Structure 1
Amino acid sequence: MRNPVVLCIFLITLLSCVQEKRALKGDTKFQRELNAEYKDASRSPLKNKDRKVFEGLDFFKFDSIYVVKAELKRTPNSKWFNMRTTTDRISKERVFGILTFELKGEIHQLNVYKNEELIEKEGFENYLFLPFSDETNGLESYGGGRYIDARIPEGDTMVIDFNKAYNPYCAYDEKYSCPIVPRENYLKTRVEAGVKAFDKH
């Protein structure tokens, strides 16, 4: 028969490991994956002091109202321009197209951008950058606006899921250089979806 003391120690160790590896917060796959990334020291934008006590980002509750189908008007002749960032760095972008969609009974437009550097990066050839700001900024959400990752669609429509809106890395650590949301991508409405403002420790 096994030594009961050894067995007890084994069970305590096992339980503590299970507790350490408990699932991070998140109601959707996107939320859980983002939380896992931010907890991972090798990928997290969080400062060490924030990451050590990190249990999960604060999200607005998922709402299908904020999943919209947008018409994409491509702008193949648009010129490259220097998008300002939170540092002296310049991000070379061009307007890939204009997205028109209805949200809460109102028609809105957003420019979606293509980054010059990422064209050459494997796996990012079809990547599109969709930054936006809205009337929750500085209140429930980060004051500098938020981002959505997108891919070039086959046709002339694109689904925008604002529930997948995330904060720029500089919302967590000022050492990062983040593109500043262009003025024309301000939505005159409250987008109560995606990641909320981060409470630093």
Structure 2
Amino acid sequence: MNKIFVFVLFLAFNTGFCQKKFDPVEVENFQKKINSEFADPKTSPLEEKDLKKFKTLEFYSANHKYFVNAKFIKAKNEKAFEMKTSTARKPKYIKFGTVYFVIDKVALQLNVYQDVQLSKTNEYKDHLFLPFSDLTCGKESYIGGRYIDLKIPKGNTIYIDFNQAYNPYCAYNHKYSCPIVPLENDLNVAIEAGVKTFH
């Protein structure tokens, strides 16, 4: 019986209340970092057969359209809930807030969550988890949706760079246990940014 591995990939994003502009260099650094992690046997989620021939993940071209300065509204009086995963594991999360933004003149919103257990640690006490799915899922991007890691903003604005959206480890290896994107975070638009589907 395979040991269940919990997928936790945290990338260093700087969030705040100031308006921030799209930076293609940041996207390039994100791509280099994730490729480096996937190429290293010590950190790669890839199965051995895929690791042997791995060169790079596939990415959408960096696009400023998918970098948004979103309005952030903190949730009130939310209770922790068990988030469904790809296995029987049900980690506790809490809805931390909602982000509101516009892409191609379409008003959109997504919920952001906080892992209850991780939030008790100094390293991840300000970490926010943004899972989402969109119209590219099952086509150019992973059918199960993608993730973005954020940090709690200091004000009511938070920047979200969908160019840095990545796949759950379940997209590469069945031994991982990955949170399933909540239904309320399914976007009825195509987010052509970030990591594409594997193979």
* Larger of the two Rg values belongs to structure: 1
- SS of aligned partner of 2:49: helix
Following superposition, the deviation at residue 119 of structure 1 comes to 1.2
- SS of aligned partner of 1:90: coil
Which structure has more relative contact order (CA 8 Å, sep 6+)? It is: 2
Show CA shifts across 1:33-64 (max 9, x none). Answer: 10001111111111111111100100000000
Paired with 2:169 and 2:121, the residues of 1 have a C-alpha distance of 20
Following superposition, the deviation at residue 77 of structure 1 comes to 1.3
Paired with 1:117 and 1:54, the residues of 2 have a C-alpha distance of 33
Following superposition, the deviation at residue 76 of structure 1 comes to 3.3
Q: Which residue of 2 aligns with 1:111?
A: 111
Alignment of 1:50-199 (within 5 A): 50-199=50-199
Displaced runs of 4+ in structure 1, greater than 6 A? none
Following superposition, the deviation at residue 120 of structure 1 comes to 2.2
Show CA shifts across 1:39-94 (max 9, x none). Answer: 11111111111111100100000000000011011013111011100000002111
TM-score (norm 2): 0.85
Paired with 2:165 and 2:78, the residues of 1 have a C-alpha distance of 25
Show CA shifts across 1:153-180 (max 9, x none). Answer: 1001100100000000000001100000
- Structure 2 stretches of 5 or more lacking a match? 1-26
Paired with 2:94 and 2:122, the residues of 1 have a C-alpha distance of 19
Percent identity for Structure 1 against Structure 2: 49
Specify the code of the residue in structure 1 equivalent to 2:70.
Answer: A
Q: Which residue of 2 aligns with 1:16?
A: none
User: Number of paired residues?
Assistant: 173
TM-score (norm 1): 0.84
Specify the code of the residue in structure 2 equivalent to 1:127.
Answer: H
- The root-mean-square deviation of aligned C-alpha atoms, in Å, is 0.9
Show CA shifts across 1:103-153 (max 9, x none). Answer: 111100000000011112331111100000000000000000000000001
